[in-house]
Amino acid sequence: MNTTNYDIVILGGGCAGMQLMHQLIHHAKYKGESILILDADKTYLQSKSWCFWHSSNVHPYQSIFNTTWNSISIGFPEGNQEKIIEPYRYSFIKSETFFDFHFDEIKQHPNIDYTNDVVTHVEKNGSQFVIHTNSGIVSTTALYSSFWNQQSVASETNLFLKQQFFGWEIYTEQPVFKATAATLMDFSIEQAEGVTFAYVLPYSENHALIEITGFCAEAYSIDFFEDALKKYIQKNWNCPYTILKTEHASIPMTNFVFKRFTREGAIAIGTAAGMVKPTTGYAFNRIYRDSVLLANHFFNKEVPAEFTHTRFKFYDRLLLQLLKYHPNKALFILMQLFRKVSYQHVLRFLDEDSTLFQEALLFAKLPKKDFIKQLF
């Protein structure tokens, strides 16, 4: 069987694979190096909604934002608190928009190939990676991989929860939604086994994505989600609606130490590289920053360093422990965080952009006893 050689091979053409490709081909030192992106299924047909907060200056993907909000709302049993988040904004990119944008780039670059082949195994021969697929063999010296195995990660740590969510994109005849703010967390819903909240992205007065999210080790049933969603819609908007789409997924929440390199020595990217913040499930901006870094390493012929562990990993572990073993306390802490600390400070902290001093001020507003207990 013939082997086709590429300068760069990216396993997985999802969020991380596409962002890396984008950074590579827009790098000042890019000279038309050949790139192959291999993805087993046409994930780009799946509907995901990527949201993230960012400073109001230009965001690298601003040209494809579908919606942007200047305010966010948090729901408490006593009512909602909507606040402007300047200098941040909360923005949304539909997965269809994201993939259309990147597939257009692939079309414009004859040196980039994209295939839906299935990777069977990867070997390393000296500096060459040999990738066996169901339709042939390819080789490269620069291999990036977004493949990971959830089962083996879950079996290697005792702290593995899932951020599970189920939502409907709905259309209402009457203009019922207040499209000025996205609801990040509405804790006023009935709590299930883990911390549970509703998430609302109002695209217009008639059109919104409404999701029920739960942080739990066990899987919630579809019946549970549908029931909670119907009740939430009825309580808040009580009007007829049409379901346009369903989104149902699970994101890992774990203290597992993801490594920079895979077992075969490929450079891990995306979820496989621990880019999903374990306590929030957000990854889009972290993947962006990592892709910029990896493109620089590639063109400067540098080997990326193994990840170092910051204090944020420690904070994440404390919160994960509370979420797993004391969900009621975790719920109280999350609500206190948004009640007592400005939304901007919370967002900066979740972005791992805060200083130690700012963190001390933030922790001072929370029930310290629960955190201290988790230390032991």
Ligand X SMILES: Cc1cc2nc3c(=O)[nH]c(=O)nc-3n(C[C@H](O)[C@H](O)[C@H](O)COP(=O)(O)OP(=O)(O)OC[C@H]3O[C@@H](n4cnc5c(N)ncnc54)[C@H](O)[C@@H]3O)c2cc1C
Binding status of residue 15 toward ligand X by CB under 6 A: yes
| 124, two tokens | 């390393």
DSSP 210-232: EEEEEEESSPPPHHHHHHHHHHH
Min separation Cβ 52 and ligand X, Å: 5
Task: Determine contact, residues 295/10, Cβ cutoff 8 Å.
Answer: no
DSSP 136-176: EEEEESEEEE----HHHHHHT-S-EEEEEEEEEEEEESS--
- Among 10, 21, 24, 39, indicate the residue that binds ligand X (CB under 6 A): 39
Contacts with ligand X in 41-60 (CB under 6 A)? 41, 43, 48-52
Angle 231-193-83 (CA atoms, 0-180°, nearest 5)? Answer: 60
Q: Which residue is nearest to ligand X (CB)?
A: 14
**Burial call 54-75: b when 16+ CB within 10 Å, e when fewer:** beeeebbbeeeebbebebbbbb
Residue closer to ligand X by CB (options 304, 374) is: 304
Compute CA 236 distance to the chain's CA centroid, rounded to the nearest angstrom.
Answer: 27
Binding status of residue 271 toward ligand X by CB under 6 A: yes
Binding status of residue 284 toward ligand X by CB under 6 A: yes
Residue closer to ligand X by CB (options 40, 176) is: 40
Q: Which of 289, 234, 292, 252 is nearest to 28 (CA)?
A: 292
Binding status of residue 374 toward ligand X by CB under 6 A: no
Binding mask 131-170 for ligand X (x = CB under 6 A): ---------------xx-----------------------
Residue closer to ligand X by CB (options 138, 276) is: 276
Q: Rg (Cα) of the chain, in Å, rounded?
A: 22
209 three-state secondary structure: strand
Contacts with ligand X in 85-114 (CB under 6 A)? none
Binding status of residue 214 toward ligand X by CB under 6 A: no
- Among 6, 9, 10, 13, indicate the residue that binds ligand X (CB under 6 A): 13
- Among 14, 202, 274, 278, indicate the residue that binds ligand X (CB under 6 A): 14
Strands 67-69 and 160-172: unpaired
Segment interacting with ligand X, rule: CB under 6 A, options 28-36, 78-86, 227-235, 276-284: 276-284
How many residues form the binding site for ligand X (CB under 6 A)?
29
| 290, two tokens | 């990592």
Residue closer to ligand X by CB (options 148, 232) is: 148
The residue ranges that bind ligand X (CB under 6 A) are 12-17, 39-41, 43, 48-52, 118-119, 146-147, 247, 249, 251, 270-271, 276, 281-284
